[in-house]
Amino acid sequence: MTEVLDVRAMPDLGKDDAAWWRQAAVYQIYPRSFADSDGDGIGDLPGITSRVPYLRRLGVDAVWLSPFYPSALADGGYDVDDYRDVDPRLGTLADFDALVAALHGEGIRLVVDLVPNHTSDRHEWFREALTSPKGSPARDRYIFRDGKGPDGAEPPADWTSAFGGPAWEPVGDGQWYLHYFATEQPDLNWDNREVRDDFLRTLRFWSDRGVDGFRVDVAHGLAKQLPDELPTQAELDALPKDGTHPLWDRDEVHEIYAEWRAVFNAYDPPRTAVAEAWVQASRRARYASAEGLGQAFNFDLLEADFDAEQFREVITFNLELAETSGSSTTWVFSNHDVVRHATRYGLPPRHGSTDKHGGSWLLSGGTEPELDRELGVRRARAATLLQLALPGSSYLYQGEELGLHEVADIAPDARQDPAYFRNAGVDVGRDGCRVPLPWAREGESFGFGPAAAVMPQPDWFGDLSVEAQDGVAGSTLELYRDALALRRELQSDEDLVWVSTDDDVLAFRRSNGWLNVTNFGARTVALPAGEVLLSSVPLTDGRLPGAATAWLRTEV
């Protein structure tokens, strides 16, 4: 590895630059498992503030904060009791302001998670709906339907929720409410003007507090149009998702985001947003348009195997798509919903696999049948370097910079994910990527906080802690730091040119001569001429070993 320029000393993000998000490296924090300041075993906002120097040294441009609002944690905080407050276990609004100030002081922007598809069942609106009669304005904020059969004792339809189990819940008077996710997450009715206005208020509330952008949860689900006669689940599944489906990706959803856009653009710089929209790739562009949310997640690389051809296809397709929307594309390998990529890449390939992992392990936390830990991390490091060399935004998930693996062996009574409880024995859920971070080699919670963490950490976390990797040449943490520092220097416009090599090797060049070479195969390969800036593993006599990436500076 050659010497890396120390550009990390001076973050210069151009604070007034309205386009900051286009090429940003965004670091996702799952607040309850990042850092605990007060010893209650749960991560909190002051804990994050205390780690801002770490984030600065890591070299990220922005933080995306998963929900930190008051919540019973029926779905890890995605069940929100109050959209304009902080969970008292995580801190106060004053702590939030202190976090914004600390991040901005280091030139790091803040994107907060917004959950508009559903509230929690403890939200004051839902409580009011439960004590209000059928047909009342309070019930109109949600999606209530009469049950079938005598006294409405049967559900209005046989729909299944995303976490398993029924999607309709009775409230005792013959009516049922829709919850596409957990029972504690009643779906909102976005045809209701009061719902719309209240979210506009929420957008302003956080924007006024200095938030730079929003990550929009289930962005494709807000606009629903349920016919009087509800289809069965099988009929629902068979309907095309072309803008006319009763539940998903309806065209009218963009009217909502046009209203949001007007709010975003009233700020200087305009607030940004990124849609979590699981839609047909060709329909992603509308979410990402400048009249809409501005950017949309692309999970295609996350779903691909560690495979040159799959990567090339996904990259080419998404760069073209970004051109149609005028946005920049997004890249992501790990987040709080999926098995960490270091682990996925140490398991048999998913596509084309006929074993029991062929389908669902991506979202399941599983690490069987046989995890090759070393290979997984090695590939993950190679994939991340490739990601960071691509045009567009890179979304990184806390702990991936430590090369953390999924924690597979969490005891049933320590699990928290509704996907586990609603799918007993089928899906182990997403807790395995949400285990509190190890900051120190030793100690009750490996430096996560002054006491034990609520969710237990495995013994092997100590060796992967920040302390164990800080300043250690070749560690995953130092690789991320070097890569992010270089990226800040080299990331420029949005072009990419493929440089043809061979089947297992993907090489692309940016217009400034920055060349990325990723070797997906096992053979060691020669590198093109140029100055080697960084590599995911040491080179062998100047050649690139298997499952590795190198960055080069080449003549333009």
The minimum distance between CB 75 and ligand NOJ, in angstroms, equals 5
Contact flag: residue 337 with ligand NOJ (CB under 6 A)? yes
Q: Which residue is nearest to ligand NOJ (CB)?
A: 78
Task: Please tell me the distance from the alpha carbon of residue 382 to that of residue 378, in angstroms, as a whole number.
Answer: 6
Neighbours of 122 (CB within 10 A): 16
Task: Please tell me the distance from the alpha carbon of residue 130 to that of residue 133, in angstroms, as a whole number.
Answer: 8
Contact flag: residue 187 with ligand NOJ (CB under 6 A)? no
Contact flag: residue 273 with ligand NOJ (CB under 6 A)? no
The minimum distance between CB 394 and ligand NOJ, in angstroms, equals 18
Contact flag: residue 217 with ligand NOJ (CB under 6 A)? yes
The minimum distance between CB 76 and ligand NOJ, in angstroms, equals 6
- Judged by CB under 6 A, the residue of 74, 115, 219, 273 near ligand NOJ is 115
Complex with ligand NOJ: residue 42 or 490, whichever CB lies closer: 42
Q: In terms of DSSP bridges, do strands 144-146 and 175-178 run parallel, antiparallel, or are they unpaired? A: antiparallel
Contact flag: residue 121 with ligand NOJ (CB under 6 A)? no
Catalytic residue among 44, 169, 217, 417: 217
Neighbours of 285 (CB within 10 A): 18
- Judged by CB under 6 A, the residue of 36, 61, 75, 249 near ligand NOJ is 75
- Judged by CB under 6 A, the residue of 64, 78, 190, 299 near ligand NOJ is 78
Structure tokens at 452: 């034990």
Task: Please tell me the distance from the alpha carbon of residue 273 to that of residue 296, in angstroms, as a whole number.
Answer: 8
Phi, psi of 275 (to 5 degrees): -90, 130
Residues 122-151 that bind ligand NOJ (CB under 6 A): none
Coil vs helix vs strand at 349: coil
The minimum distance between CB 395 and ligand NOJ, in angstroms, equals 12
Complex with ligand NOJ: residue 110 or 484, whichever CB lies closer: 110
The minimum distance between CB 243 and ligand NOJ, in angstroms, equals 21
Complex with ligand NOJ: residue 114 or 453, whichever CB lies closer: 114
Which residues are paired to 166 by β-bridges?
Answer: 160
Task: Please tell me the distance from the alpha carbon of residue 172 to that of residue 179, in angstroms, as a whole number.
Answer: 16
The minimum distance between CB 71 and ligand NOJ, in angstroms, equals 11
Question: Are 284 and 298 in contact, with CB atoms under 8 Å apart?
Answer: yes
Complex with ligand NOJ: residue 117 or 393, whichever CB lies closer: 117
Region near ligand NOJ per CB under 6 A, out of 72-80, 233-241, 398-406, 496-504: 72-80
Region near ligand NOJ per CB under 6 A, out of 31-39, 54-62, 70-78, 482-490: 70-78
Phi, psi of 393 (to 5 degrees): -90, 145
Establish whether 307 is a catalytic residue.
no
Complex with ligand NOJ: residue 177 or 306, whichever CB lies closer: 177
Contact flag: residue 339 with ligand NOJ (CB under 6 A)? no
Task: Please tell me the distance from the alpha carbon of residue 448 to that of residue 452, in angstroms, as a whole number.
Answer: 8
Q: Which helix (H) or strand (E) holds 314?
A: helix 308-325
Complex with ligand NOJ: residue 305 or 337, whichever CB lies closer: 337
178 class by beta-carbon count within 10 Å (0-12 exposed, 13-18 middle, 19+ buried) = buried
Question: Are 485 and 6 in contact, with CB atoms under 8 Å apart?
Answer: yes
Contact flag: residue 219 with ligand NOJ (CB under 6 A)? no
**Residue recorded with tokens 């106060």:** 92
Contact flag: residue 279 with ligand NOJ (CB under 6 A)? no
Contact flag: residue 218 with ligand NOJ (CB under 6 A)? yes
Contact flag: residue 257 with ligand NOJ (CB under 6 A)? no
Beta strands in 256-378 (DSSP E): 272-275, 294-296, 330-332
Residues 382-441 that bind ligand NOJ (CB under 6 A): none
The minimum distance between CB 220 and ligand NOJ, in angstroms, equals 11
Complex with ligand NOJ: residue 181 or 508, whichever CB lies closer: 181
Region near ligand NOJ per CB under 6 A, out of 75-83, 100-108, 244-252, 369-377: 75-83
Q: Which residues contact 518 (CB under 8 A, 6 or more apart)?
A: 308, 311, 382, 383, 385, 386, 505, 506, 507, 548, 549
The minimum distance between CB 199 and ligand NOJ, in angstroms, equals 15
Q: In terms of DSSP bridges, do strands 514-519 and 548-553 run parallel, antiparallel, or are they unpaired? A: antiparallel
Contact flag: residue 249 with ligand NOJ (CB under 6 A)? no
294 class by beta-carbon count within 10 Å (0-12 exposed, 13-18 middle, 19+ buried) = buried
Q: Which helix (H) or strand (E) holds 292?
A: none
Binding residues for ligand NOJ, total number by CB under 6 A? 10
Complex with ligand NOJ: residue 66 or 519, whichever CB lies closer: 66
Catalytic residue among 75, 276, 400, 401: 276
Residue length of the chain: 556
Complex with ligand NOJ: residue 1 or 72, whichever CB lies closer: 72
The most distant pair of C-alpha atoms in the chain lies apart, rounded to whole Å, by 79
Residues 14-53 that bind ligand NOJ (CB under 6 A): none
Q: Please, how many CA atoms are within 13 Å of residue 220, restricted to the half-sphere of its CB? A: 22
With CA atoms as reference, report the closest residue to 183 among 75, 81, 276.
75
Left if phi > 0, otherwise alpha if psi is -120 to 50, otherwise beta: which for 99?
A: alpha
The minimum distance between CB 163 and ligand NOJ, in angstroms, equals 8
Task: Please tell me the distance from the alpha carbon of residue 337 to that of residue 363, in angstroms, as a whole number.
Answer: 6
Contact flag: residue 181 with ligand NOJ (CB under 6 A)? yes
The minimum distance between CB 67 and ligand NOJ, in angstroms, equals 9
Establish whether 217 is a catalytic residue.
yes
Complex with ligand NOJ: residue 76 or 403, whichever CB lies closer: 76
DSSP-assigned letters across all residues of 130-146: HHS-TT-HHHHTB-EEE
* Residues found near ligand NOJ in the complex (CB under 6 A): 75-76, 78, 115, 181, 217-218, 276, 336-337
Active-site annotation, residues: 217, 276
